[in-house]
Amino acid sequence: MKRLYTFLTALFSLQFMVPCFADGKTEIVRTYVSPVRVIWQSGAVSNMEQLLVPGNGQADLTNASICVLKNTGDEQSSILLDFGKELHGGLEIVTGMWSPGNTPRNIRVRFGESVSEAMADIGEKGATNDHAIRDFNMQVPWLGKIQVGESGFRFVRIDLLDNDAELHLKEVRAIFTYRDIPYVGSFTSSDERLNEIWKTGAYTVHLNMQDYLWDGIKRDRLVWVGDLHPEVATVNTVFGYNEVVPKSLDLARDVTPLPNWMSGISTYSMWWIILHHDWYMHHGDLDYLKEQQPYLSGLVKQIVSKVGPDGKERMDGNRFLDWPSSEDADAVHAGLQAMTIWSLSTAAKLSEVMGDNETHRIAGEAVKRLKKYTPPMGQSKQAAALMAITDMVDPATANADVLAVGGAKNFSTFYGYYMLQAMAKAGNYQGALDVIRSYWGGMLDLGATTFWEDFNMEWLPNASRIDELVPAGKKDIHGDYGAYCYVGLRHSLCHGWASGPTSWLTEHVLGIKVVAPRSKTVLVDPHLGDLEYAEGTYPTPYGPIHVSHRKDKDGKVVSTIAAPEEVTIIRKK
**What is the identity of the amino acid at 124?**
E
pLDDT tens digits for range 138-150 = 999 999 999 999 9
Same fold, 6-179 and 186-509: no
User: Distance of CA 195 to CAs 66, 185, 444, 501, 569, Å?
Assistant: 40, 13, 12, 10, 25
| CATH architecture entry for 186-509 | Alpha/alpha barrel (1.50)
Domain ranges of the chain: 6-179, 186-509, 517-571
Q: What is the reported pLDDT for 25?
A: 52
Q: What is the mean pLDDT of residues 246-257?
A: 98
**Residue 24 predicted with pLDDT over 60:** no
Second CATH level (architecture) for the domain 6-179: Sandwich (2.60)
On whether the CB atoms of residues 157 and 60 are closer than 8 A, the answer is no
pLDDT at 207 over 60: yes
Residue-wise DSSP of 353-395: HHT-HHHHHHHHHHHHHHTT-----TT-HHHHHHHHHTTSS-H
Question: 507-547, pLDDT tens digit by residue?
Answer: 999 999 999 999 999 999 999 999 999 999 999 999 999 99
Question: What is the rounded distance in angstroms from the CA atom of residue 500 to the CA atom of residue 235?
Answer: 11
For residues 523 and 546, what is the distance between their CA atoms, to the nearest angstrom? 13
Contact 482, 488 (CB under 8 A): yes
pLDDT tens readout for residues 55-106: 999 999 999 999 999 999 999 999 999 999 999 999 999 999 999 889 999 9
